[in-house]
């Protein structure tokens, strides 16, 4: 892949937050030390995970977190985004003690803890189709903030509610395996409500630095024909507006509010609680055209023929091991489009995930991907977008949901037989980037 590696990466504004991200279910293991989540039941069903694996051990982070904090300190990141497992926190003192220690160790290592309060591992007895789950989440958040809020100052409510709705409840590819298509929309609404209630609970506990991590990417129409443009606009609504409009504008896109349950107008007031920053997870753009009347297999997901759009290949760009196109300029395009669409309703942006799956420890392809995306991010900053941070997905190779352990996103290689951690070439590359960004005297 062509890189710009000869030229130094431009400097980002002072105070820019550099970090890496993980999530609880993907790295923690120690499944027998917590309550079950929807993912435990899902992975136990044959055929759900491509390599037949589960996250019962994963990276065994619960028992090896000191080694992982040392890797973070060695990397020199300002911040570490991880998630708090609701099933672990419900399992009593041991769960809370683990996060207490992790947060203490991060602070002692000079790495700012940035927890996500929900990253898909819902307790097995709860269901996002039920409104009550949002209320239960808010109670849970109050308890957690009360315990960790003396050391945690930056919070993320939810991770990618769009993917959790689409993959987990509409298409049946992720837990809990619902194949409800558009009947899954209440799942989106209840997560948004949970977010708003969580923001209120965090504010009540004194938190002053709150965001959400939403996945977004440019949608490119497959052609200029009306049917393709219309299908692409609809896909864009699902990915880029269904969650962002209620959060930032306090309303659903036209025609969507009527499909949501409950007193939608009252809920929107909660959902639109002001945020301190808006997190964006960016991986790639999507090319979309009119439906093709047949099931489509794309990026590991089977899309049913009934969908009013079809996802198409993006040609002319390299692809990652996952088959996702590598399009750094898509990040600049996305950020400037968000700025133009939401104007002063868009708070400062943080890139809460960006990364790629490639095998190997000498991962030059990952370096090229990250190098390209950091430069593309800088171009967005130069274009006037207020971006305050960037987090690489991910610190460690980990359990990549329905793909199992086959897709490796880590800066650190994990041998899933011995659990040995080996920093990859990209870990050293990122460390050098962070050093070069340090303020000069």
Q: Which of residues 369-398 bind ligand IFM (CB under 6 A)?
A: 393
Which helix (H) or strand (E) covers residue 135, if one does? Answer: helix 132-148
User: By the 8 A CB rule, do 51 and 404 touch?
Assistant: yes
Alpha-carbon gap, residue 299 to 399, rounded angstroms: 17
Binding of ligand IFM at residue 243 (CB under 6 A)?
no
Residue 438 a catalytic site member: no
DSSP sequence for 161-206: HHHHHIIIIISSSSTT----GGGGHHHHHHHHHHHHHHHHHHHHTT
Establish if 82 lies at the interface with ligand IFM (CB under 6 A): no
- Select which of 35, 273, 333, 353 is catalytic: 353
Which two tokens mark 263? 């007193």
CA dist 36 to 88, 195, 327, Å? 8, 22, 38
Least gap, CB of 285 to ligand IFM (angstroms): 15
Contact 341, 219 (CB under 8 A): no
Residues with Cβ within 8 Å of residue 97, at least 6 apart in sequence: none
Query: For ligand IFM, which is the closer residue by CB, 68 or 353?
Result: 353
Give the shortest CB-353-to-ligand IFM separation in angstroms.
5
**3-state DSSP assignment of residue 297:** strand
Per-residue mark of binding to ligand IFM, 13-32 (x: CB under 6 A): ----------x--x------
Which residues share a beta bridge with 141? none
Check 28, 35, 160, 333 and give the catalytic one. 160
Closest distance between ligand IFM and the C-beta of residue 396, in Å? 11
Nearest to ligand IFM of 264, 366 (CB atom): 366
CB of 40 to ligand IFM, least distance (A): 16
Instruction: Show the tokens assigned to 353.
Output: 């995930």
Q: Which is nearer to ligand IFM, 233 or 403 (CB)?
A: 403
- Judge contact between 190 and 271, C-beta under 8 A: no
Query: Closest distance between ligand IFM and the C-beta of residue 401, in Å?
Result: 6
Q: Examine residue 160 and tell whether it contacts ligand IFM (CB under 6 A).
A: yes
How far is residue 236's CA from residue 216's CA, in Å, rounded to a whole number? 9
Strands 412-414, 421-423: pairing is: antiparallel
- CB of 164: closest distance to ligand IFM in angstroms? 9
Residue window 165-204: x/- pattern of binding to ligand IFM, with contact defined by CB under 6 A: ----------------------------------------
What CA–CA distance (Å, rounded) separates 160 from 169?
A: 13
Q: Would you say 105 or 400 has its CB closer to ligand IFM?
A: 400
Our answer to whether residue 265 is catalytic in this structure is: no
Binding footprint of ligand IFM, residue count (CB under 6 A): 8
Give CA–CA dist 346/340, Å, rounded.
9
* Neighbouring C-beta atoms of residue 361, cutoff 10 Å: 13
Beta bridge partners of 311: 288
In the bound state with ligand IFM, the residue whose beta carbon lies nearer, of 146 and 323, is: 323
Of the pair 219, 394, the CB lying nearest ligand IFM is at 394
Tell me how far, at minimum, the Cβ of 162 lies from ligand IFM, in Å: 10
Binding mask of the shown chain, residues 335 to 354, with x at each position contacting ligand IFM by CB under 6 A? ------------------x-
Among 60, 267, 397, 400, which residue sits at the site for ligand IFM (rule: CB under 6 A)?
400
Task: Considering only residues 269 through 308, tell me which ones interact with ligand IFM, judged by CB under 6 A.
Answer: 281
Beta-carbon neighbour count of residue 230 at 10 Å?
15
- Tokens representing 386 are 């207020």
Contact 215, 205 (CB under 8 A): no
CB nearer to ligand IFM: pick between 205 and 398: 398
Annotated catalytic sites, by residue?
160, 353
Q: Which residues bind ligand IFM (CB under 6 A)?
A: 23, 26, 160, 281, 353, 393, 400, 409
């Amino acid at each position: 892949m062509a890189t710009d590696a000869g030229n130094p990466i431009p400097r980002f504004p002072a105070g820019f937050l550099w970090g890496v991200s993980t999530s609880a279910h993907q790295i923690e293991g120690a499944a027998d030390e917590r309550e079950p989540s929807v993912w435990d039941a899902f992975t136990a069903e044959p055929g759900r995970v491509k390599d037949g694996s589960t996250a019962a051990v994963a990276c065994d982070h619960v028992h090896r977190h000191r080694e992982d904090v040392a890797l973070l300190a060695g990397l020199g990141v300002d911040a570490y985004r991880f998630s708090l497992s609701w099933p672990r926190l419900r399992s009593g003192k041991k769960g809370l003690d683990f996060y207490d220690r992790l947060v203490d160790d991060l602070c002692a290592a000079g790495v700012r803890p940035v927890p996500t309060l929900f990253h898909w591992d819902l307790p097995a007895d709860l269901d996002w189709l039920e409104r009550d789950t949002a209320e239960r989440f808010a109670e849970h958040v109050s308890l957690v903030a009360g315990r960790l809020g003396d050391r945690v100052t930056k919070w993320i409510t939810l991770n990618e509610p769009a993917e959790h709705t689409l993959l987990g409840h509409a298409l049946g590819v992720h837990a809990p395996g619902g194949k409800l298509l558009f009947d899954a929309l209440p799942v989106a609404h209840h997560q948004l409500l949970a977010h708003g209630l969580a923001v209120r609970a965090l504010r009540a506990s004194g938190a002053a630095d709150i965001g959400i991590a939403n996945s977004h990417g440019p949608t490119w129409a497959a052609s200029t024909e009306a049917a393709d443009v219309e299908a692409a606009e609809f896909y864009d609504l699902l990915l880029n507006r269904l969650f962002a409009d209620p959060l930032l504008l306090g309303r659903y896109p036209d025609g969507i509010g009527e499909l949501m349950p409950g007193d939608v107008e009252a809920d929107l007031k909660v959902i639109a609680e002001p945020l301190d920053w808006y997190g964006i997870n960016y991986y790639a753009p999507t090319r979309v055209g009119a439906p093709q009347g047949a099931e489509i297999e794309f990026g590991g997901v089977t899309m049913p023929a009934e969908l009013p759009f079809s996802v198409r290949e993006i040609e002319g760009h390299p692809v990652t091991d996952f088959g996702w196109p590598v399009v750094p300029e898509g990040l600049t395009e996305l950020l400037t489009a968000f700025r133009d669409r939401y104007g002063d309703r868009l708070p400062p942006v943080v890139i809460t995930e960006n990364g790629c799956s490639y095998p190997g420890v000498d991962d030059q392809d990952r370096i090229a991907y990250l190098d390209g995306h950091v430069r593309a991010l800088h171009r967005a900053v130069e274009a006037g977008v207020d971006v305050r941070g960037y987090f690489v997905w991910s610190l460690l190779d980990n359990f990549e949901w329905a793909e199992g352990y086959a897709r490796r996103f880590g800066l650190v290689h994990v041998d899933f037989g011995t659990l040995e951690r080996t920093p990859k070439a990209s870990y050293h590359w990122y460390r050098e980037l962070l050093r070069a960004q340090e303020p000069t005297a």
